[in-house]
Structure 1
Amino acid sequence: MSMTRLLAALGLFMLTLNACSAPEKAPDHFIKGTVEGIQNGKDGYTAKIKTEDNETYFVTVSTANLSDPTQYKAVEIGSVIEVQGDEWTMGEDKQITVRQMK
């Protein structure tokens, strides 16, 4: 393999590694926010929530991802929810795969 191809392959590999951040371990605290939008999915929903600190999160709630599926709650715009889970980013958006709900 020529040096140019090797460097190109290495560059693509590094770019792929940095494309998305890996999920972080679930935080020890719950994030509380007001629901501003809801996108329904197959077995749950993704809600856009805004915290009191004016931070926005997109939280994905599904019975399959909850540590206790009986915690599943349907929400409406304006509802206040508390969630805990795996935090990650997609572009500039903060995401949480919910593992626990209050």
Structure 2
Amino acid sequence: MKVKKDEKKVYQIGETAVITSDMYDFDYQVTVNDFKLVREVDGVKIEDYISGAIDEDRFAVINVTIKNISDEAYVPNEMFSANFSKQGDDGGHTSEDQFFY
């Protein structure tokens, strides 16, 4: 698939993306293994996290594999934060570390 300069490639579950960190300038691979929207994660209900949550509110639970393909050593959860948003929106809110495993 040829991607125009101003377009972003969209990856499917199971496909691996090679990403260059814009903050740290090294390459790594990310593969989304599974994705689901749920109202409860590890016993925490969406209502416990969002005051006034409505029926449509959900946690995004995403299982990813991050592989270091650079010469730099790093611990992923110390260098990355998960962001989630609709296409065209800003990057979303930084994830809560307690939910980033």
Shorter-chain TM-score tier: under 0.3
TM-score, length of structure 2 as denominator length: 0.25
Q: Which has the higher strand share?
A: 1
Q: Which has the higher helix share?
A: 1
State the structure with more CA Rg.
1
